[in-house]
Amino acid sequence: MKKLFAENGTRKLLIRGAVFLCGLLFSRACVFGEYCPFGVSLAAAVPFPYVFFSFLGSSVGYIVFPAASASFRYIAASAAVIAIRWTLSDIKKLNSHSFYSAAVAFVPVFATGLAVMSVSGFSSKGFVLYGTEALLSGAGAFFISRTSVMLAGTKSLGMLMPQELASLILTGCIALLALSGIAVWELSVGRIAAIIIILFAGRYGGISGGAVAGIAAGAILSLSGGDFSFIGACFAFGGLLSGMFSPLGRLAGCGAFLLAAVISGLQTAGSERLVIMLYETVAASVVFLFMPENAASFLRAVFVSRNDDEHTEGLRRSVIMRLDFASKALSDVSNEVDEVSDKLSGIITPTVEGVYEKAVESACARCGMKVFCWEHRDGVDMEMLSRTQDKLCSEGRISTSDLCTEFRQKCCRTPEMTSAINRAYQSYISSRAAQKRIDEVRQVVAGQFCGLGSILEEMAEEYSNYEVFDNDLAEKITVKLKDMGLCPSAVSCRIDHLGRMTIEAEAADSKGRKLRRALMVHELNKLCGRHFEAPTVTNAYGTVRISICERPCLDAEIASSQHISGDGKLCGDHFCYFNDGSGRLVVILSDGMGTGGRAAVDGTMASSIMEKLVKAGLGFDCSLKVVNSALLVKSEDESLATLDVLSLDLYSGRADFMKAGAALSFIRKGNDMFRVQTPSLPAGILPQIDFSYTQDDLLDGDIIVMISDGAIATGEDWIENIILSYDDKPIQQLADKIADEAVTRRNDGHDDDITVIAMRIINN
């Protein structure tokens, strides 16, 4: 814990230093030759705890490096920004508005501009210039604020939406604008850095990447004024040509940019400025050529094409349609099996009335009085025999004396009739038992058809969420895995509609080979230009499946505590937790019926099957049906187990609670407590079973506690009190305290298995 606090303290110190340096840098970003409003923009955009450090950095920049004619005006505007933000800090709704930072920056800059004009004299030109400056300040604050939010999260470049990416690019261009005023031998550091970035963008993004980078950098740097206003056209044209010639190599890209600089400069620039521009291009090209090939590989994620070619897209849609149609067909098969079975059961299922009919056929077959007894009006009828039905059903057999007096007087073969009824009834009981078992098996088989249909439906839905299958990158990943000693038989690289990349690979399982997970993640990070989570590895039938997703924004600290009934060795509760390879944390808790070895078998079986199926990519509902079928056919004895499943999306914080006969769970948000409790049945009782679902959105610091029913034998309120009193101690202490208190409170002479799983959500 001390280490964690030390890391947090160091991180905060680094952030403060970075904000101070940004303030120092942004105060030098000058437009129109004399206006420097971006130091004020930074003060309006950074999170409020760091606003003082941005003010301090920009103030030092305005004083030490006065790039504007009225530096103290910007210091006053920055101070006004701090005052406004402090005054309105309690209005959360206003602070969270998208244009709040833009408005906070616009007002002081425009107000101080009006104040300057009140002294120097009002003019339409001055009003337009100060108004434009205020708009630029507000726009800068808007882009910087969105960039600061992105930097606070863990999104990689490939996951950014176009609007977020634009904000990041424009914020970077403001930094380049500030660096453009720093010169070494009359060569601008900012323009050299901009050219290097454009060359890399053309290298990894082709024509579109080079053109976008060139237009953005040129448009912002041309605002600096002076004799370098021509660089807007130069950078745009250079980026276009460098991207066009990038397939021929880095040297060709540099030559194309240099040619564009010459052509653009000859039209608009003076000879002296053109020569400086050419020297800057040469300097940037030399740096670019000597930099490692993968130095800016992260840019590759930005320029991943979202539109696959027609063949690949058509194949993807065809697979989705086939899977979807197959799922519906299998569901129809299940329904038809049920319908036909219901109709046949009404025709062939034995009845109690049939017992007497079979007994008559057996006892009276060779009797000479059969015609007289059953066809003469003074004979016998079935109603006389059916009077024994109550005793037959209650005791399982009858005696001759149980037949009515009238029947005994008219029938000369009452002992044979009694024996025939008893034999027919035993046959009826056996037939009913067999029919019941057949019905159970039929329902399980029909359920498997339906479950298989659900699996295909979920696969179709999953594939429909993936927009891009990057085959080129998959081939590069295959080569990289082979270099690491792993020989994959197949590699898939997918990008979903939110820009998140998932890598899946299959290879032969070599138990003697150790999988170097950390090295794998490190190499894939460099290759793909993204930040990946540790791989999830699943083994099945000699095949190892590796699934890797991008690093999510959230993580969870997990602790567990368990008490075994009677201090035995086998616990009826079984739990596991894992990352499923798609950015979800999955926690499974199962409670087998009773205690001891049999309960341990049921609980372990249920949770293990669920874990294996979810890791394999199946949905939770399909996995539950498979678990239920396995418990039904496991043995002739009744087997049941509860299932308590939590699926936490570590990207969005959405938590799905799924319960099948499980005990309640607890959620703490700040000082508020919530219970997750929904009625449901455990697995292994009925052929058809479904989870009861509850959803919630979780944030950093929220706490979840999952328990087995042994922990709530004496109530639930005391658990809430313990959770509410918990502070920032290790989460293991919370789990241990609840489990120990549950054992202490159990004073009824009974003991039960107790499991407590506690989780705390943290930023990744």
For residue 67, is pLDDT > 70?
Answer: no
Q: Is the dihedral of CA 635, 640, 646, 647 positive or negative?
A: positive
Pick the more confident residue, 220 or 464: 220
Give dist(CA 729, CA 129) in Å, integer. 56
Residues 732-747 have pLDDT tens digits of: 999 999 999 988 888 7
> Hey, is 700 helix, strand or coil?
coil
Give the pLDDT score at 576: 92
Q: Kindly state the DSSP code that residue 582 receives in the 8-state scheme.
A: S
Amino acid at 750: H
Quick one: CA torsion of 157, 159, 162, 165, rounded to 10 degrees?
A: -30
Quick one: CA torsion of 575, 580, 583, 589, rounded to 10 degrees?
A: -20
Which candidate, 261, 252, 189, places its Cα nearest to that of 232? 261
CB atoms under 10 Å from CB of 409, counted, come to 10
Least confident of 42-46, 363-367, 540-544: 540-544
> Hey, is 645 helix, strand or coil?
strand
Confidence of residue 95 (pLDDT cuts 50, 70, 90): confident
> Hey, is 270 helix, strand or coil?
coil
Give the pLDDT score at 307: 47
Give the pLDDT score at 333: 46
Give dist(CA 188, CA 283) in Å, integer. 10
Amino acid at 49: P
CB-CB contact of 254 with 269 (8 Å): no
For residue 699, is pLDDT > 50?
Answer: yes
Q: Exposed, middle or buried, 339 (CB in 10 Å: 0-12/13-18/19+)?
A: exposed
For residues 467-490, one letter each, b for 16 or more C-beta atoms within 10 angstroms of the residue's C-beta and e for the rest, the string is bbbbeebbeebbebbeeeebebee
For residue 560, is pLDDT > 90?
Answer: yes
pTM: 0.53
534-561 mean pLDDT: 83
Please tell me which of 37-41, 283-287, 591-595, 721-725 the model is most confident about, judged by mean pLDDT: 721-725
Residue with the two structure tokens 């952030």 = 15
Q: Exposed, middle or buried, 125 (CB in 10 Å: 0-12/13-18/19+)?
A: exposed
Amino acid at 715: G
For residues 650-681, one letter each, b for 16 or more C-beta atoms within 10 angstroms of the residue's C-beta and e for the rest, the string is bbebebbbbbbbbbbbbbbeeeebeebbeebb
Give dist(CA 303, CA 246) in Å, integer. 14
CB-CB contact of 391 with 310 (8 Å): no
Pick the more confident residue, 114 or 437: 114
Give the pLDDT score at 760: 93
Structure token digits, residue 76: 């006053």
Residue with the two structure tokens 């919630």 = 696
Residues 5-23 have pLDDT tens digits of: 344 567 778 888 888 888 8
CB-CB contact of 529 with 501 (8 Å): no
- Residue 389 CA, distance from chain mean position: 62
User: What angle, 0 to 180 degrees and rounded to 10, lies between the N-to-C axes of helices 271-290 and 189-221?
Assistant: 110
Which candidate, 176, 181, 177, 167, places its Cα nearest to that of 196? 176
Q: What secondary structure, in 3-state letters, does 273-325 show?
A: HHHHHHHHHHHHHHHHHHCCCCCCHHHHHCCCCCCCCHHHHHHHHHHHHHHHH
Give the pLDDT score at 454: 62
CB-CB contact of 496 with 467 (8 Å): yes
Give the pLDDT score at 736: 93
Give dist(CA 258, CA 242) in Å, integer. 9
Confidence of residue 153 (pLDDT cuts 50, 70, 90): low
Confidence of residue 2 (pLDDT cuts 50, 70, 90): very low
Structure token digits, residue 266: 């000859």
194-207 mean pLDDT: 81
Give the pLDDT score at 386: 78
Contacts of 241-246 spanning 24+ positions with Cβ under 8 A: 241/210, 242/198, 242/199, 242/202, 242/203, 242/210, 242/214, 243/201, 243/202, 243/205, 243/206, 243/207, 243/208, 243/209, 243/210, 243/211, 244/202, 244/206, 244/207, 244/210, 246/202, 246/203, 246/206, 246/210
Residues 309-327 have pLDDT tens digits of: 444 554 555 555 555 555 5
572-589 mean pLDDT: 87
H/E stretch holding 492 reads strand 488-496
Residues 111-139 have pLDDT tens digits of: 888 888 887 777 887 788 888 888 888 88
H/E stretch holding 589 reads strand 584-592
Residue with the two structure tokens 């009625």 = 679
Percentage of residues in the chain with pLDDT exceeding 90? 10
Q: What is the mean pLDDT of the chain?
A: 78
